[in-house]
Amino acid sequence: MIEFDRGLTPSKNVGEPKAIPRPQSDVAGGPPRMAHQVQQAIAEFEDPAVNVLLKHTGVLMQAREYRLAVNLLRNVLMRSADHPEALLRMGLCFREESRYDEALKCFRALVKTTRSLESQILVAETLYMGERDQMALGAYREVLKNVVESQSQLFEIYKNVGNIHVRAGDYESAEEFYNKAYCINPASDVLMINYGTLEIQRENLGEAVERFRKAVEINPENDKAWVGLAIVHRQMGDAELARANAERALDINGTNRTAIRLAVEWGVQDGAFSMSILRLQDYLAVECEDAEMSFMLAKILTQVGRLSEARLELERVLALDPAIEGAENLTRALDKELANR
């Protein structure tokens, strides 16, 4: 199946506790300053150190240095455990690294602190991204009990709920929520891909083609839409067009994992081993820690008799994932074969 596509105001941090002076009359002899005014003034004082740390985390997040940003955000939260902006940013950093459980802790703490609808949406989105579908569905239902004023947020909610129903095999409910999203934004190429995926699941290949074609009409650079067309055309028996669609996807995004897998598998089936090897080598030059694709390359190299290269590739496979099924057996077989040469 095609992979689905997914501001709070910083709090005023008081820093170290400061002594509250007794209310005194002002110089003009007016009434004493009220105690709550003094409290408010202190609450609105911004700790310069916290502001500097938050500024640096913003720079690090823009540079995708999420782990470094998290280190600074921990420093902020040590001073103020419920600092809304720090909780928000830390949750977003964890989510970018697919550390969904840790992101959820941050966003749930943010819900308790802010009681905002935006923080509830973040919780639901994170559950969805982590494929905790039933919990995500429940969280989205709670969100939809409120008035979601942002049309873009509402579009994402409907789209994601539709995707959850597709994964559960409830295609009628999926279409219902996709239609709600379509009413908000009928020109979404992402939504067209989701519609296309739904039609593949229903085995309505003609309708799926139309949806994916619409997606590439809206956005010709959407590599996932081209992958969708490749899958459908292959199922319809048009291998040449399917291969061309997969190549188009890779021209747009050379690291599209689904497109690489399809192109390689179809290349092997068609006897195009050299092209499959080159595709995998190009992919692994960028995504060098993908043990599964590295193992695929090792197996193809073995199949064409390039045993020394295959054995070297297996070193990477086992370094990345020693438990990957079949890698040790192939390593032993290659060692035996190479020793007999």
pLDDT in tens, 92-141: 999 999 999 999 999 999 999 999 999 999 999 999 999 999 999 999 99
Tell me what pLDDT residue 141 has.
95
Query: What's the pLDDT tens digit per position in 54-100?
Result: 888 999 999 999 999 999 999 999 988 899 999 999 999 999 999 99
Quote the CA–CA distance of 319 and 281 in Å, as a whole number: 17
Close Cβ partners of 81 (under 8 Å, ≥ 6 residues apart): none
Residues 226 and 270 in one domain: yes
When pLDDT is averaged across residues 38-45 and rounded to a whole number, the result is 48
| Confidence class for position 33, pLDDT limits 50, 70, 90 | low
More reliable by pLDDT, 34 or 283: 283
pLDDT range class, residue 341, cuts 50, 70, 90: confident
Please check the confidence at residue 5 and state whether its pLDDT lies above 70: no
Confidence category of residue 52, pLDDT binned at 50, 70, 90 = confident
Burial of 266 (0-12, 13-18, 19+ CB in 10 A): middle
Q: Is residue 7 scored above 50 in pLDDT?
A: no
Among 212, 222, 295, which Cα is nearest to 256's?
Answer: 222
Residues 6+ apart with CB under 8 A from 52: none
Q: Do residues 265 and 224 share a domain? A: yes
Residue 96: inside a domain, yes or no?
A: yes
Within-domain flag for 167: no
Asked if the structure places residue 55 within a domain, the reply is: yes
Residue closest to 326 by CA, chosen among 337, 317, 339: 317
The CA-atom distances, in angstroms, between 8 and each of 65, 101, 118, 169, 209 are 21, 21, 8, 36, 41
Structural domain contains residue 155: no
Question: Alpha-carbon distance 102 to 42, whole Å?
Answer: 32
CATH number, domain with residue 67: 1.25.40.10
CA-based nearest residue to 70, from 97, 49, 104, 52: 97
Task: Answer whether residue 15 shows pLDDT above 60.
Answer: no
Q: What is the DSSP letter of 14?
A: -
Which of these ranges, 23-37, 232-246, 257-271, has the smallest mean pLDDT?
A: 23-37
Mean pLDDT to the nearest integer, 252-267: 92
* Predicted local confidence at residue 18, as pLDDT: 41
Q: How confident is the model at residue 256 (pLDDT cuts 50, 70, 90)?
A: very high
Same domain, 316 and 278: no
pLDDT at position 51: 84
**Is 232 in contact with 205 (CB distance < 8 Å)?**
yes
Any domain includes 65: yes
* Residue 24: pLDDT over 50: no
Same domain (yes/no): 55, 107? yes
111: tokens are: 């819900």
Q: Last residue of a domain, which of 115, 143, 175?
A: 115
Q: Write out the residue range of the structural domain in which residue 340 sits.
A: 309-341
Q: What percent of the chain has pLDDT over 70?
A: 86
- Over the chain, what is the mean pLDDT? 87
45 secondary structure, DSSP code: -
Mean pLDDT, residues 142-152 taken together: 93
CB 295 within 8 A of CB 324: yes
Q: What is the pLDDT of residue 39?
A: 54
Whether residues 229 and 275 fall in one domain? yes
The reported pLDDT for the residue numbered 49 is 81
pLDDT of residue 312: 95
Domain assignment present for residue 26? The answer is no
pLDDT digits (tens, 9 = 90+) for 289-316: 999 999 999 999 999 999 999 999 999 9
Domain count, the chain: 3
User: What type of residue is 220?
Assistant: P
- Residue 110, burial from CB neighbour count under 10 angstroms (0-12, 13-18, 19+): buried
Whether 62 and 104 map to the same domain: the answer is yes
pTM of the entire predicted model: 0.76
C-alpha to C-alpha distances, 209 to 123, 195, 225, nearest whole angstrom: 34, 10, 10
Residue that terminates a domain, selected from 68, 83, 115: 115
The pLDDT, as a whole number, for residue 80 is 87
Q: Is residue 148 part of a domain?
A: no
Quick one: pLDDT at residue 261? 93
Which of the two residues, 37 and 329, has the higher pLDDT score? 329
| Domain end among 99, 115, 131 | 115
The string of pLDDT tens digits covering residues 166-191 is 999 999 999 999 999 999 999 999 99
Residue 26 has pLDDT above 60, yes or no: no
Same domain as 321, residue 256: no
According to the model, what pLDDT value does residue 6 have?
Answer: 47
pLDDT of residue 38: 54
Residue 299 belongs to a domain: no
261 and 225: one domain? yes
